[in-house]
């Protein structure tokens, strides 16, 4: 019984450590995911001739090259930005969406 409890406790520690690392808002993958989620939000709210979709798809293209833990971090950033309507703490109004496109913000995160 003691062995089972110790094994379960060890698995819990490893899993929570892995999730904590994957959820880092400072990671390259999280920021790239946040940009993708922001572009999805902007696309749904302020459609602009497909430019938001194009930027989102180009940034999301990097997703295929990521490891599973990197994909988790990416997905958390994407989902948080899309659900909250915020990009790294900034409210996504029409002007913020346009400025992200103009700055080609996704390019900043496409290089390590």
pLDDT digits (tens, 9 = 90+) for 38-63: 999 999 998 777 888 888 888 878 88
CA distance 60 to 78: 10
**Collapsed DSSP state (helix, strand, coil) of residue 39:** helix
Q: Give me the mean pLDDT over the 1-6 stretch.
A: 60
Contact 29, 107 (CB under 8 A): no
Per-residue pLDDT at 14 exceeds 60: no
Q: Give me the mean pLDDT over the 83-102 stretch.
A: 91
Q: Which of 52, 50, 36 is nearest to 94 (CA)?
A: 52
What is this structure's pTM? 0.71
């Amino acid at each position: 019984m003691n062995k089972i409890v110790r094994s379960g406790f060890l698995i819990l520690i490893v899993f929570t450590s892995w999730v904590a690392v994957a959820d880092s808002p400072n990671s390259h993958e999280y920021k790239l995911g946040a940009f993708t989620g922001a572009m999805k939000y902007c696309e749904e709210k302020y459609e602009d001739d497909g430019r938001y979709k194009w930027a989102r798809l180009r940034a999301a293209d990097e997703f295929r090259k990521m490891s599973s833990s990197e994909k988790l971090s990416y997905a958390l950033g994407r989902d948080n930005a899309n659900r909250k309507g915020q990009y790294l703490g900034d409210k996504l109004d029409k002007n913020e969406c346009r400025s992200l496109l103009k700055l080609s913000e996704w390019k900043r995160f496409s290089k390590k």
